Structures are given as structure tokens and as C-alpha cells.
């Protein structure tokens, strides 16, 4: 204990050292931040906002926008927390995830479970009471598919990627319905683009960490194949989905949501994605997999930005 004037700072022992209560709180908050996967949650909220903007025709109603963002964020937090609860054992076997709060022992499973269930429950209730029932129901479906289907299927089949792509593509639809939009062709076009975009993105990640997945016993596609010829299936699939995404990405323009400027950007992005997938197919290596991953990370925010900007330009 140290004293300076009338203020007192209590030091708590941690691993033989002493840490101030303030630092303990910061460390705890850091663990919770890691538990909710903030980068994924931020991307979810970005796509929700895009869907809301399109569904509201550019007129934001903050009385529904803020509870939609908060509610969907809470459901996303709950999904991430319960995903890590279910994958605690496999996370402990992988180098890139072994330091997470649960496998490292910094947080107990019961705490993460209660946080996950509580966050998701509050989020759904918030959506049902302050937004609308449709958005709440779709959030429950998203949560159930991610936690109840995708997460356990990773241990048994490489088809888990296709299942996981469904909840991954629903956030812009949640934003669309939160703005009062119906489940129309326009909403489906947003879903379809995000659904297809995910496959080259996740295949690149799965290829880069295939040894980790094998060690953890997860049946991700690159880890599920053995010889070099079979591994080319990964590159073929990445290219196939990138090619399918190219015309699909133009659906918003075909449905009258945007003009020609968006189409030019979408085509350029699609060709860039296809080119990266071709390089990955021709030479499945760390370099080409990272390039494909990088292109995927550029593709989505730029496509979404072009979509919103051109849509708002049309409304003027």
C-alpha cells in the first residue's frame, strides 16, 4: 500500500507482482473486448448501417437507428462470446487463439457464458420493443445459425463455411428491416453479395491457418484435404465464388438502387477479386493467400461505400 497525501492506492498481487486496481480493471475490459471480437462487430455494424441507409432511402430516424445498432451489437457480442465458450478447447490448441481470455484461463467459462446469453437476450428484447419484431426474429436466426450450427459443425464438416456464411450475410438485411423495409429483392441482393464475398475471404484465412486448424481438429477445407492435387480444390472454389460475385455485385444497380457509377466500381472490384483468386489457384502459397485476403478486405468496404454514395446521389 502506498500513500501520497490523502489518496491511497491499493496494489493487488498478480503472479508474484503487484498491479493497481485501475490496471486490473483495464485488463478486465481488455479481456471482454477480446471476447466480443470488436473488428467483426464493427464490420457487422457497418453493414447494418448500410442496410438501414438503403432501406430508409437515406433518411435516418434515430429513434429506430440507435436501438437497432445497439441491439444488433449486443446480439453480435453474445454470439462471439458463446462461440468462444464452445471453442475454448480447440482455441487452446491453436497458436493464434491460445492467448484468448478463456483458453488462457484469464476468464472462466461460466462468466463468458452468462455474458453471452445476457448480451444476446438484452439485444433481442431491445430490437423487439424499440425497432420491430422482424428485425428481432432475424437477429435470433442469425444468432442461432452462428452459435448453434456453424460453431459445432466446424468440428465435423468443411461445409460449416457455407452455413456460417448465412449469418455473416444477414447484417445488412437486419439494417434494411430495421428501417422498415420488407424482405424484398433489394434486401436479397445485399444478402447475396455478402454471402458470396465471404468464401474467398474465409478460404484464404483457412489456408493460411490450415496447420492450426488440423491441430485443433477443425474440419476447415484446406485442413480436410491431404495431397497437393486435392488442395487445388481450395483455389478452384475461391475463383468460382469470386466469379459468381462479379455479376451478383451488380444486382443493386439492376434493381434501381444505384446508377452507373456504382456499376463501374463494382466491376473493377470484382475483376480485382477474380485476379487475386486466379493467382491463388495457380500458386497456392502464403503470399497469394495473403494477397487474396487483403483484396477481400479492400473489396467489401469500398463496394459498400460506392453503393451508399451512388444511392444517395440518385435520391437528390
Burial class (CB in 10 A: 0-12, 13-18, 19+), 63: exposed
- Indicate whether 52 belongs to any domain: yes
**pLDDT-derived band of residue 217, with 50, 70 and 90 as boundaries?**
low
- Say if residue 84 is in the same domain as residue 165: yes
192 vs 30, residue with greater confidence: 192
Q: How far is Cα 282 from Cα 25, in angstroms, rounded to an integer?
A: 49
Is the same domain home to 177 and 197? no
On whether residue 1 sits in a domain, the answer given is no
- Position 220 scores a pLDDT of 65
CATH number, residue 98: 1.10.357.140
Average pLDDT score, the chain: 85
Distance between CA atoms of residues 144 and 72, nearest Å: 14
Poorest-confidence range of 7-11, 68-72, 296-300? 7-11
Q: Would the pLDDT of 78 be above 90?
A: yes
Distances in Å between the alpha carbon of 203 and those of 142, 183, 209? 21, 29, 10
Residue 236 lies in a domain: yes
In the chain, the N- to C-terminal Cα span, in Å, equals 65
Domain membership flag for residue 12: no
270 and 163 inside one domain:
no
Select from 162, 181, 200 the last residue of a domain: 181
Q: What is the mean pLDDT of residues 35-57?
A: 90
Are 104 and 199 in a shared domain?
no
Distances (CA, A) of 172 to 20, 45, 115, 240, 266: 43, 9, 25, 24, 17
The domain boundary, picked from 139, 157, 181, lies at 181
Bridge partners for 19 per DSSP = 12
Q: State which of 60-74, 155-169, 211-225 shows the largest mean pLDDT.
A: 60-74
* Structural domain for 236, as ranges: 184-316
Examine the pLDDT at 251 and tell me if it is beyond 80: yes
| Domain stops at, among 115, 146, 181 | 181
Q: Do 78 and 176 reside in the same domain of the chain?
A: yes
Q: Does 167 share its domain with 233?
A: no
Residues 175 and 303 in one domain: no
**In this structure, what are the phi and psi dihedrals at residue 111, rounded to the nearest 5 degrees?**
-65, -45
pLDDT range class, residue 114, cuts 50, 70, 90? very high
Number of domains the chain contains? 2
- 82 plus 161 within the same structural domain: yes
pTM: 0.84
User: What confidence tens digit (pLDDT) does each residue in 151-210 have?
Assistant: 888 777 777 888 889 999 999 999 999 998 889 999 999 999 999 999 999 999 888 888
Does the pLDDT at position 270 exceed 90?
yes
The whole-number pLDDT of residue 108 equals 87
The answer to whether residue 7 sits within a structural domain is no
- Together in a domain, 209 and 175: no
* 224 pLDDT above the threshold of 80: no
Same domain, 47 and 162: yes
Q: Which of 14-23, 54-63, 100-109, 220-229 has the lowest mean pLDDT?
A: 220-229
Please report whether residue 243 resides in a domain. Answer: yes
Asked whether residue 230 falls in the same domain as residue 291, the answer is yes
Pair 164, 211 in one domain: no
Higher confidence at residue 271 or residue 312?
A: 271
Q: Cell for 151?
A: 460453431
**Contact in structure between 76 and 126 (CB atoms under 8 Å):** no
Q: Rounded to an integer, what is the distance from CA 103 to the centroid of its chain?
A: 21
In a domain, 267, yes or no: yes
**Between helices 160-169 and 185-208, what is the axis angle to 10°?**
130
Residue 302: pLDDT band (50, 70, 90) is very high
State the SS3 of the chain: CEEECCEEECCEEECCEEECHHHHHHHHHHHHHHHCCHHHHHHHHHHHHHHHHHHCCCCCCHHHHHHHHHHHHHHHHHHHHHHHHHCHHHHHHCCCCCCCHHHHCCCCHHHHHHHHHHHHHHHHHHHHHHCCHHHHHHHHHHHHHHHHHHHHHCCCCCCHHHHHHHHHHCHHHHHHHHCCCCCCHHHHHHHHHHHHHHHHHHHHHHHHCHHHHHHHCCCCHHHHCCCHHHHHHHHHHHHHHHHHHHHHCCHHHHCCCCCHHHHHHHHHHHHHHHHHHHHHHHCCCHHHHHHHHHHHHHHHHHHHHHHHHHHHHHHC
Assess if residue 127 is contained within a domain.
yes
Which pLDDT does position 70 carry in this prediction? 96
C-alpha cell of residue 316: 437528390
Higher pLDDT, 247 or 102: 247
Q: Which pLDDT band holds residue 221 (cuts at 50, 70, 90)? A: low
Amino acid at each position: 500500500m502506498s500513500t501520497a497525501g490523502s489518496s491511497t492506492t491499493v496494489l493487488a498481487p498478480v503472479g508474484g507482482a503487484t498491479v493497481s486496481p485501475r490496471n486490473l480493471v483495464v485488463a478486465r475490459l481488455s479481456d471482454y473486448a477480446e471476447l466480443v471480437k470488436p473488428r467483426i462487430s464493427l464490420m457487422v455494424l457497418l453493414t447494418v448501417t448500410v442496410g438501414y441507409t438503403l432501406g430508409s432511402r437515406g433518411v435516418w430516424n434515430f429513434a429506430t437507428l440507435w436501438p437497432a445498432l445497439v441491439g444488433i451489437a449486443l446480439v453480435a457480442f453474445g454470439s462471439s462470446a458463446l462461440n468462444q465458450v464452445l471453442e475454448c478447447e480447440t482455441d487452446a490448441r491453436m497458436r493464434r487463439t491460445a492467448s484468448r481470455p478463456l483458453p488462457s484461463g484469464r476468464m472462466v467459462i461460466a462468466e463468458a457464458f452468462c455474458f453471452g446469453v445476457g448480451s444476446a437476450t438484452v439485444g433481442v428484447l431491445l430490437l423487439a420493443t424499440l425497432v420491430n419484431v422482424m428485425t428481432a426474429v432475424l437477429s435470433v436466426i442469425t444468432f442461432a445459425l452462428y452459435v448453434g450450427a456453424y460453431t459445432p459443425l466446424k468440428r465435423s464438416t468443411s461445409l460449416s463455411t457455407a452455413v456460417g456464411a448465412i449469418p455473416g450475410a444477414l447484417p445488412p438485411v437486419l439494417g434494411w428491416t430495421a428501417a422498415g423495409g420488407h424482405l424484398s429483392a433489394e434486401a436479397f441482393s445485399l444478402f447475396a453479395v455478402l454471402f458470396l464475398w465471404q468464401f474467398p475471404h474465409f478460404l484464404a484465412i483457412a489456408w493460411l491457418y490450415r496447420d492450426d486448424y488440423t491441430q485443433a481438429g477443425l474440419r476447415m477445407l484446406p485442413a480436410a484435404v491431404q495431397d497437393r492435387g486435392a488442395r487445388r480444390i481450395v483455389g478452384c472454389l475461391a475463383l468460382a465464388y469470386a466469379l459468381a460475385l462479379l455479376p451478383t455485385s451488380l444486382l443493386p444497380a439492376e434493381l434501381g438502387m444505384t446508377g452507373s457509377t456504382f456499376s463501374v466500381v463494382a466491376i473493377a472490384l470484382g475483376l480485382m477479386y477474380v485476379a487475386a483468386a486466379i493467382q491463388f489457384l495457380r500458386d497456392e502459397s502464403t503470399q497469394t493467400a495473403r494477397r487474396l485476403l487483403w483484396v477481400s478486405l479492400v473489396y467489401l468496404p469500398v463496394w459498400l461505400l460506392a453503393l451508399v454514395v451512388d444511392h444517395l446521389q440518385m435520391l437528390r
